[in-house]
Chain A
Amino acid sequence: MEKVCKDWSIAFDPELVNPNYWNEFEENAKAASAEIWQVNSYAEAAEAITTLIQTTKAQKVIAVGNEESIGLASVYDSLKSLDINLYTNKFAIAENAPTADIGISTAEFAVGETGSVCVDSYSYESRIVGMLPPIHIVFLDRSCTVENMTTAFKVISRVFNKGYMGFITGPSRTADIERVLSLGVHGPSRFIIIAVDEAANGGKN
């Protein structure tokens, strides 16, 4: 999968990117109606997604990121045992995105000040998995947080030369009718961040 940066860790100065801003991130992300699931391993993540698939009766899942992460590849492998259609090929994703129930992708780091996650969406498939299904899940390394938007852009400026990237802060929302907040207008109505504690999992994949 094409990305703005193949390996974001090269941009991660430990002074800027570290686990210190997790609590503020969590509070702000929840305030923006994001759901946060903290897990200690990819196996645990796979279980949680399985439960979600069962409770929402999801039939079709589109997912990216397995080429870049052994952990994600293992999650998708375990989902294959369920009675669902799981698509990870980009053309299959394009074909099935309009009717998919859940999309899964990845985030590079989180921002404490705003509750946002930074997403590298250079590839077409990574964008549509996050926009077309009603539920969007992103995987995030819990140790990668920055303080605020200023520091976020310091990180970004080291690697952003071309392509498509940005931030997601909670699900799609509108308040255009009587300023009443409604979720899921064009994009997903549920935005779930699965924060994997890589350290607890024995280091980065």
Chain B
Amino acid sequence: MANTRNIKKEINNKLHDSIMRNALSRFAAQYPAARLKSYANVDSIDDLRNSLRDMKQSTVAHIEEVADEFESSLKERGAEVFRAKDGDAVKDYLLKICKENNVHRIVKSKSMASEEIKLNSFLEENGLHVRETDLGEWMLSVAGQRPSHMVMPAIHLNKEQCAKFFSQELHEDIPNDIPFMIQTARRVMRDEFLQADLGLTGANFGIAENGAIGLVTNEGNARLTTTLPRIHVILIGYEKLVPKIEDAAKILRLLPRNGTCQRMTSYMTMVDGPTPVIHKVNDQWIEEDRKVYVILLDNGRLKAAHDPKFKEIYQCIRCASCLNVCPIWTLVGGHVYGHIYSGGIGAILTGLLNSMEDFSKINELCIGCRKCMSICPGKIHIPDLIDELRARNVKEKGLPLPVKVVFQDILANRKIFHSLLRLASIGQKPVQNGNVIRHLPLFFAKLTEGRSLPAIAVEPLRDRIKELTKNNPSSPTKRVAFFSGCNIDFVFPETGASVFKVLQNLNMEVIFPEEQTCCGKPILGMGDRETAKKVAKQNIETFEKAHADVILFACPTCAETWHKTYPELFADDPEWSTRVQVISSKVREFTSFVAEAYEEQHRFIAVSNGKKITYHDSCHMKRGLGIYKQPRKLLQDAAGYTLTEMNNCDKCCGMAGAFGIKFSEISKPILAEKILSIKETGADTVAVACPACMMQLQGGLDQQAPEIKVRHVADVIAESIL
């Protein structure tokens, strides 16, 4: 399947599935508030998250010992334990169990691991009667579909579609009445439970010290699956293990709240070793201990446990909340992710547990907005892990040729790159087609429907430096070296001029080291770390020579790349590591830096009745750098505007690096939603602190609400300086 997929076509189909789109957008709108409500009675969500993360981190550090203890606890209590290295091992073992115990009928209660290894079809091919018992999964298995979400498997369907699947399976005419369908499911599935020989479950956790496994469900299907059949098989991945009984609470205080916005699911069941079952043998009721088999599944998990980066996947408790807030999942649903695990964490799990080939098809579906990181119970750095997988994939397999040419021959050579940009300002034509465009910084892209892209400025910022530095103060308090980034340099030079003006007005000297080049983010985004290192070195050398007190950025993405990624790139290189430490410690972002100076100089004055302005939080600014209060303070108390907040002010605008161009069909609806939120505020200006967002919003407003202007905070502030 992996080789023949046309991901663009799949995405297009999903974007036109209005039933799914409506369901997902309704859900996405309700989820954040519902989640917070479920946490209203805990003191600190963050404390709970930290305690889960710490427990999981210390567990993965000793995973073999924990697994050994889990195994011996279970054996002591009379369960069989089997370590399966992969799906085939699970299948062989399970078939053996079925034969030895004369098993014909199996009921299953939600096990993602069994979907991961495609167990159902295997069992059916071997003549076994297998039924999913979770209502959503049962409907999907009848429909021949896969779950599109780990917690709400059938969220992409409506009741009419569900009724159709009911009717098909039961050969009865089932009306699309939800309570009726539920009662029908109860009746049909009750027989399945009562007749089953074997119950197969997954586990939300496994406790090493006593061998218990835990299952959370709302329907109660896991409770029935672990009670009625005479045999219980548990398929559990290594990442579900925890050392102590009390550790289970750390999972349970977060999982239902993040997963389904409940303080607890209806049923939370723990099974520890064989327990009694009463059943009829030769027409006689007898009581005996049920047989319990535990299959501990590796399938790539142990390798990940020993990987310095990917061991983080052990912090995942499969709540799927990373999907619930993902702007991409909200639009295209879970199926385009291909494998069983969808969304950001799904892309990672797919790469590690399934195949890198599948991963390489879908890895670009992460927009890098970091919304998932802000709520993940285990605090997994999902976008960073996707970057890491991508980088390793590139290291192993190399980049596709056109991309390689762009990165290694153009972007890595400042002179060629910048001449090309100047050329673009004249022609705009030579680079406007083919594969070249989408891998260059954003402004090379073609005009797209619903969004126009800005032209390259006639005069880039770098050509105006002489004129701008004339206004430098004679006895400055600070020497500031400005790293403009490509967007400000070549598309929004006026914003660059505003930065000069604001800082000079603060009695600071501003310099522009001319050898500076692209920060390297587009290259890093494609996973080419070697070329990124070359570019980084060039920038570091240039700014070392500048001998500045501060290196200033008016683009949060460049700032984050310098501050966070540069040190990571050179972590194994002692010489450069030292140099980059010195340099990255000087990195400051414009709004927070200016707000601090204004605070010191008592320049903030609360004004009322100013003109209405609204502010859009850039993903990299808010969740990357943690800056969101300062730009607001500047707009309101320095520039004299009245700030009106928009709905979902920190939701991605849809640009996100090359994403907005490569997947413009996904980017467009995200942008349209953002424009709507802006319009609803009634403000005539939307301020941003990120040039990439500025480009995206300007393009959208141009075509959809030309009366509203988008401006960088630097421009707004500069305007208020006489």
Contacts and interface: CB of A to CB of B under 8 A. Distances in A.
B186 A150 contact: no
A157 B245 contact: yes
Contacts of B405: none
Nearest to A148: B253
Interface in B123-157: 133-136, 139, 152-155, 157
Contact of B278 (A90, A113, A179): A90
Contact of A164 (B183, B189, B226, B266): B226
Interface in A160-205: 160-180, 182, 184-187
Contacts of A187: 219-220, 223-224, 266-267
Contacts of A168: 266-268
Contacts of A31: 263
A114 B266 CA distance: 10
A177 B180 CA distance: 12
B194 interface: yes
Interface in A75-102: 90-91, 94-95, 98
15 contacts: A32-B262, A32-B266, A91-B287, A94-B278, A116-B268, A127-B227, A150-B253, A162-B77, A163-B272, A166-B267, A176-B134, A177-B157, A180-B159, A182-B182, A186-B219
B226 to A, nearest CB: 7
Given A94-B285, A124-B227, A169-B264, A160 B278 contact: no
A21 B228 CA distance: 35
A186 B133 contact: yes
A153 B153 contact: no
Nearest to B211: A162
Contacts of B136: 174, 176-177
Interface in A140-166: 148-150, 152-154, 156-157, 160-166
Residue of A154, A162, A176 with most partner-chain B CB within 10 A: A176
Contacts of B220: 131, 172, 185-187
Nearest to B109: A186
B162 interface: yes
Interface string B362-375: 00000000000000
Given A94-B278, A172-B218, A184-B186, A162 B263 contact: no
Contacts of B23: 178-179
A177 B249 CA distance: 30
Contacts of A156: 245
Interface in B266-298: 266-273, 275-279, 285, 287
Given A164-B275, A186-B189, A174 B152 contact: no
Top 10 closest A-B pairs, CB basis? A187-B220, A176-B136, A114-B264, A153-B249, A157-B245, A166-B269, A167-B268, A94-B278, A172-B220, A91-B285
B252 interface: yes
B190 interface: yes
B190 A160 contact: no
Given A91-B285, A184-B186, A187-B224, 18 more contacts: A113-B42, A122-B275, A124-B227, A131-B224, A132-B190, A149-B264, A153-B246, A153-B249, A160-B210, A165-B270, A167-B267, A172-B267, A175-B218, A175-B260, A176-B153, A177-B157, A185-B182, A186-B220
A184 B182 contact: yes
B466 to A, nearest CB: 62
A176 B276 CA distance: 32
A153 B269 CA distance: 13
A183 to B, nearest CB: 8
Contact of A24 (B41, B154, B264): B41
Interface string A116-146: 1000001111011011100000000000000
B578 interface: no
Given A116-B268, A173-B266, A177-B154, A153 B219 contact: no
A26 to B, nearest CB: 13
Interface residues of A, number: 58
Contacts of B183: 184
A201 B42 CA distance: 34
A123 B276 contact: yes
A91 B284 CA distance: 10
B244 interface: yes
Contacts of A154: 246
B452 interface: no
Given A91-B278, A152-B249, A172-B219, A164 B186 contact: no
A50 to B, nearest CB: 27
Contacts of A24: 41
A148 B264 CA distance: 11
A11 B253 CA distance: 22
A24 B40 CA distance: 12
Residue among A149, A161, A163 having the largest count of chain B Cβ atoms under 10 Å: A149
Interface in A1-54: 2, 24, 28, 31-32
A131 B199 CA distance: 16
A186 B224 contact: yes
Interface in B150-207: 152-155, 157-159, 162, 178-179, 181-183, 185-186, 189-190, 193-194
A152 B194 CA distance: 32
B162 A177 contact: yes
A161 B74 CA distance: 11
A101 B221 CA distance: 19
Contacts of A150: 246, 249-250, 253
A114 B503 CA distance: 53
A160 B272 contact: yes
Contacts of A177: 135-136, 139, 154, 157, 159, 162, 178, 181-182
Contacts of B250: 150
Contacts of A90: 278, 287
Contacts of B287: 90-91, 124
A26 B350 CA distance: 43
A103 interface: no
B275 A149 contact: no
A162 B181 contact: no
Contact of B272 (A162, A172, A176): A162
Interface string B57-91: 00000000000000000000100000000000000
Interface string B422-452: 0000000000000000000000000000000
A115 interface: yes
